[in-house]
């Protein structure tokens, strides 16, 4: 099962989430409106020429699992590292966020605004369509949320975890995550998540909750250069 996690983006986009993908047999991306993430059938030799027809020069994409120079026609806009973490604890005994609201399309604009404010990772206006998203509201205002993004085999990702600055320190994010972990495990799924290596505070929190490090990987933000067809450099 964890082998799927090594190339989780591709395994999601070529598998259960193919309906949300654009691309070919060698390279795929989440369709426009979803999280700007790309995956390759062969991570060691990513086929950017196959990806190029499905990308615009002003789009920036996250990808992981490869290193080396950018191919001709592409540039690396940023590079950092992240941990893949997998749940390795018993199922939470109870729903810790019974009053959380399941997000529906009427909430998506607020979800996007909260993600843009707090920057939990790549997020698009349609990202909540990829799984269950739950939120905490104060009146009509969304102040915290967490949800599901990638899915392959029995692996299901927790993502989009964020809290408005005005509501931090109340445990909303942890309770929402525990709710999702419980729901996933009740379906027989294994929860996992990604966390930036530099975010030591979040990583410690996830470890206390029950997640364990699987591996650390390079993550890059890439984009096409204007006027390029994304030809490989040979």
pLDDT digits (tens, 9 = 90+) for 59-99: 999 999 888 899 999 999 999 999 999 999 999 999 999 99
Q: Which CATH number fits the domain 2-80+218-224, given the four candidates 3.40.630.30, 3.90.1150.10, 3.90.320.10, 2.120.10.70? A: 3.40.630.30
Q: What are the structural domain ranges in the chain?
A: 2-80+218-224, 85-216
Distance (Å, rounded) from C-alpha 192 to C-alpha 146?
13
Q: Which residues contact 138 (CB under 8 A, 6 or more apart)?
A: 167
Q: pLDDT for 125-180, tens place per residue?
A: 999 999 999 999 999 999 999 999 999 999 999 999 999 999 999 999 999 999 99
Q: Span 85-216: which CATH code?
A: 3.40.630.30
Angle between helix axes 200-209 and 172-186 (nearest 10 degrees) is 50
Same topology, domains 2-80+218-224 and 85-216? Answer is yes
Q: Is the pLDDT of residue 232 over 80?
A: no
User: CB-based contacts of 213: which residues, under 8 Å, 6+ apart?
Assistant: 83, 84, 85, 207
Q: What is the per-residue burial (b if ≥16 Cβ within 10 Å, else e) of 87-104?
A: beeeebeeebbeebeebe
Q: What is the CA radius of gyration of the chain?
A: 18
What local confidence, expressed as pLDDT, does residue 60 receive? 96
Cβ–Cβ < 8 Å for 147, 135: no
Looking at the chain, the whole-number percentage of residues with pLDDT higher than 70 is: 96
């Amino acid at each position: 099962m964890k082998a799927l996690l090594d190339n989780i983006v591709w395994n999601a986009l070529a598998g259960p989430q193919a309906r949300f993908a654009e691309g070919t047999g060698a390279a795929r991306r989440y369709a426009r409106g979803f999280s700007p993430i790309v995956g390759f059938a062969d991570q060691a030799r990513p086929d950017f020429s196959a990806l190029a027809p499905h990308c615009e020069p002003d789009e920036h994409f996250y990808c992981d699992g490869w290193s080396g120079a950018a191919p001709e026609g592409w540039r690396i806009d940023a590079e950092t590292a992240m941990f893949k973490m997998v749940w390795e604890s018993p199922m939470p005994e109870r729903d810790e966020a019974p009053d959380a609201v399941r997000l529906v399309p009427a909430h998506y604009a607020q979800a996007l605004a909260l993600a843009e404010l707090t920057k939990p990772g790549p997020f698009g206006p349609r990202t909540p369509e990829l799984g269950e998203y739950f939120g905490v509201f104060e009146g009509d205002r969304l102040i915290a949320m967490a949800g599901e993004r990638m899915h392959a085999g029995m692996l299901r990702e927790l993502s989009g975890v964020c809290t408005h600055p005005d509501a931090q320190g109340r445990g909303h994010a942890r309770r929402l995550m525990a709710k999702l972990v419980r729901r996933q495990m009740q379906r027989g799924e294994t929860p996992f998540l990604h966390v930036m290596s530099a975010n030591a505070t979040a990583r410690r929190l996830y470890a206390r909750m029950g997640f364990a490090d699987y591996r650390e990987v390079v993550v890059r933000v890439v984009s096409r250069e204007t006027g390029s067809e994304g030809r490989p450099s040979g």
